[in-house]
Amino acid sequence: MKLLTGKTALITGVANDYSIAWAIARALHAQGAELAFTYQNERLKEKMGALVQQFKPKLLTELDVTKDEDIARVGRQVLDTYGRLDIFLHSLAFTPKEDLHGDFYKTSRQGFAVSNDISSYSLIALSNALLPAFEAAGGGSILYMTYIGGEYAISTYRLAGVSKAALEMSGKYLAQALGPKNIRVNGISAGPIKTLAARGIKNFSDLQKRAAEFMPLQGEITADDVAGTAVYLASDLSSAVTGEVIHVDKGFHCVRG
């Protein structure tokens, strides 16, 4: 018996086959989960849609998390299509380039609002919209992607790190609020991995090289490393784990040189 047989998962954040969300989707499916997907807009639909068709999803739907009506619609679609939801992967983040690369003390009010709206508030709003589908399943597992820049000030991460800190605290409060409904909420803090989002971080290659110098476990971190942890958190193996942030970074978070 596979770990996730009979379970349904909603995946957000697949942009291409380098996405961490894509590696997680493949791993969940390999363990028996049925997958549903969202895409950001029509411009990205064609490429992303072609990528996920191998899973024959019953639901592939647009989601703009800045629109309450989109969030509510996706919640209804999941329940109407599958009758339940067991796993939700939140892999969504955005920070305006000028606020990501500029001096932090020059962060704009609008940039701060947009970054936190998309990167952290969306976890709360989507969890609420998906609640009826989770309740129909008798509970489930919510996973979100974060980064160590939400714990420590990293010069190239700036406002994105502030939004990750808000995301992680949102995850903890959601774990407290949803625990009585048998819904677990956990984060995965991935080390530096080459993705489309990572390319938007200034001097990412240098950051990756510096991190490698301090990692207790040697070798490049891959999206598949993260996916294995996601399977654990999505499955009943982690039935007593909630409110956690698990670092998948070859130990980088625990050393300082």
Domain count, the chain: 1
Asked if residue 127 is part of any domain, the answer here is yes
Asked if residue 207 is part of any domain, the answer here is yes
Is 157 annotated as catalytic? Answer: yes
Tokens representing residue 213 in the block: 């110098």
Measured CA to CA, the distance from residue 64 to residue 46 in angstroms comes to: 16
Which of the residues 82, 147, 152, 232 is marked catalytic?
147
Which of the residues 18, 82, 157, 232 is marked catalytic?
157
Asked if residue 106 is part of any domain, the answer here is yes
Q: What is the pLDDT of residues 47-99, one digit of tens each?
A: 888 899 999 999 999 999 999 999 999 999 999 999 999 999 999 999 999 99
> Half-sphere exposure of residue 53, counting CA atoms within 13 Å on the CB side?
7
Tokens representing residue 80 in the block: 């109407």
Return the SS3 of 174: helix
Asked if residue 82 is part of any domain, the answer here is yes
Asked if residue 3 is part of any domain, the answer here is no
Which range of residues forms the domain containing residue 152? 8-254
Asked if residue 1 is part of any domain, the answer here is no
Q: Among candidates 15, 11, 189, which has minimal Cα distance to 86? A: 11
Tokens representing residue 237 in the block: 């193996």
Q: Which amino acid is at 159?
A: L
Is 105 annotated as catalytic? Answer: no
Asked if residue 51 is part of any domain, the answer here is yes
Query: Where residue 199 sits, what CATH number does that domain have?
Result: 3.40.50.720
Q: What is the pLDDT of residues 170-227, one digit of tens each?
A: 999 999 999 999 999 999 999 877 655 555 555 556 666 666 677 788 878 899 999 9
Helix axes 109-116, 158-178, angle to 10 degrees: 40
Measured CA to CA, the distance from residue 205 to residue 193 in angstroms comes to: 10
